[in-house]
């Protein structure tokens, strides 16, 4: 059987795991990916996993991207989080003029990062004028370009509207050197992501660097990957990241159980309660992984056949990604408690994975309100139509 398109990314991610593991302490301490790890990710093309082929990217399948994330996360969650963030940002090339995309992604290091949706820009001749500060920019410390998702206000102060009456939102892109970075990422988990803030003052953004991201009318690529929204791919990628963290934590607990004899108790490997707990937790993790990947495969098959993306697809991916993150957190909790006092020592890495996993579970992709959104969509009976949100 031939390799899945883009599958070499998974093999490369697995091969880079020893380097990432070795540098994980430094990544945690400095709150930045190390130069060696960043260079290895760039040199092996991992940041270009979701970049269109015509710009030199892999244009990987959704499954290959997810497996890449899972493998990196087993070594270090912060590295995987930055890689996933910046990889999905590269999908913006599918909405840009070729010269703009080449300037961003084909001038080393060719990494784009952005923060949360906020603020507005003013339309001016030839482009837009930006004055704002944005938060939660994972991967921004490695990026050569930054982006921001903003509403557009006309020169007379009126909000620009789309045909359906909703506000027009553009993703403005600008060199990282045009922004001021603010070191604010002092957190309990995912410390190494350097998810800092950035601001600009009176920055002119040429029209060609203001993308209608995730707007089908502006799409310039035909592949199934780009019929998914960046938000959908973020969800699936970060859920795969959670699986990687959970797998590494459970494996560590299993290895510990093979050799540990708690004071006053029999060896963990001979303890029926420990044996049963490991069996049930293994089943839970495998079930979560199977569910997530089955959902990705089903949606991908439909898109490859030329079927339109539907509200049903969006709901399926949203529920699968949210539930998988929550289930992964439960697996990590179980493994952490199974390890007992051993887990509290930084040298054993249980406590870091515990903190990283719970930072992942606090992110927007894991909100409980996603279940409400899914339930509302299911009750509407309109899952066969186009997605209500991108």
68 Cβ neighbours under 8 A, 6+ residues apart: 9, 10, 12, 13, 46, 49, 60, 83
- What Cα–Cα distance (Å) separates residue 333 from each residue in 54, 296, 328, 339? 43, 26, 9, 10
**DSSP state letters, 206-254:** EGGGEE-TT-GGG----SGGGGS-HHHHHHHHHHHHHHHHHHHHHHHHH
- What Cα–Cα distance (Å) separates residue 376 from each residue in 85, 144, 259, 370? 28, 40, 49, 10
Assign 3-state DSSP to the chain and report helix, strand, coil percentages, each to 5. 55, 15, 30
| Predicted pLDDT at 273 | 86
Nearest by Cα to 299 from 211, 387, 370, 178: 387
| Predicted pLDDT at 6 | 55
| Predicted pLDDT at 184 | 96
**What ranges make up the beta strands (E) of 279-325?**
none
- Cis omega (within 30 of 0) on the bond before 109? yes
Q: In whole angstroms, what separates CA 93 from the centre of its chain? A: 17
Please provide the size of the chain in residues: 390
Which stretches of the chain score pLDDT less than 70?
1-7, 263-264
| Predicted pLDDT at 91 | 98
| Predicted pLDDT at 2 | 44
- What Cα–Cα distance (Å) separates residue 247 from each residue in 73, 178, 289, 301? 9, 40, 10, 27
The string of pLDDT tens digits covering residues 185-239 is 999 999 999 999 999 999 999 999 999 999 999 999 999 999 999 999 999 999 9
| Predicted pLDDT at 174 | 98
The string of pLDDT tens digits covering residues 295-342 is 999 999 999 999 999 999 999 999 999 999 999 999 999 999 998 888
Task: Please tell me the number of Cα atoms within 13 Å of 175 on its side-chain side.
Answer: 6
């Amino acid at each position: 059987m031939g390799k899945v398109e883009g599958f070499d990314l998974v093999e490369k991610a697995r091969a880079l795991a020893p380097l990432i593991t070795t540098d994980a302490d430094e990544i945690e301490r400095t709150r930045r990916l190390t130069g060696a790890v960043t260079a290895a990710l760039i040199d092996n093309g991992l940041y270009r996993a979701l970049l269109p082929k015509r710009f030199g990217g892999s244009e990987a399948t959704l499954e290959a991207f997810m497996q890449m994330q899972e493998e990196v996360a087993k070594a270090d969650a912060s590295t995987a989080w930055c890689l996933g963030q910046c990889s999905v940002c590269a999908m913006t090339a599918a909405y840009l003029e070729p010269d703009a995309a080449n300037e961003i992604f084909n001038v080393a290091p060719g990494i784009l990062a952005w923060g949360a949706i906020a603020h507005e820009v003013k339309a001016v001749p030839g482009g837009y004028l930006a004055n704002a500060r944005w938060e939660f920019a994972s991967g921004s410390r490695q990026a050569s370009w930054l982006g921001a998702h903003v509403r557009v206000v006309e020169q007379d102060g009126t909000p620009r509207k789309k045909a359906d009456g909703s506000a027009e939102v553009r993703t403005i892109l600008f060199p990282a050197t045009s922004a001021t970075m603010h070191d604010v990422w002092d957190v309990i988990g995912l410390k190494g992501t350097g998810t800092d803030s950035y601001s600009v003052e009176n920055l002119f953004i040429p029209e060609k660097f203001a993308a209608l991201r995730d707007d089908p009318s502006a799409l310039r690529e035909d592949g199934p990957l780009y019929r998914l929204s960046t938000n959908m791919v973020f969800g699936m990628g970060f859920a795969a990241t959670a699986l990687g963290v959970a797998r590494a934590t459970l494996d560590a607990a299993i290895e510990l159980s093979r050799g540990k004899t708690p004071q006053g108790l029999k060896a963990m490997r001979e303890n029926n309660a420990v044996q049963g707990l490991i069996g049930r937790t293994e089943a839970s993790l495998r079930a979560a992984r199977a569910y997530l990947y089955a959902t990705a495969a089903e949606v991908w098959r439909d898109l490859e056949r030329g079927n339109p993306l539907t509200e049903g697809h969006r709901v399926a991916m949203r529920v699968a990604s949210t539930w998988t993150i929550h289930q992964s957190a439960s697996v990590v909790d179980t493994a952490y408690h199974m390890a007992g006092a051993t887990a509290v020592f930084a040298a054993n890495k249980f406590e870091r994975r515990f903190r990283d996993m719970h930072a992942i579970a606090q992110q927007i992709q894991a909100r409980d309100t996603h279940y409400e959104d899914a339930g509302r969509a299911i009750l509407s009976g309109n899952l066969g139509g186009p997605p209500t949100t991108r």
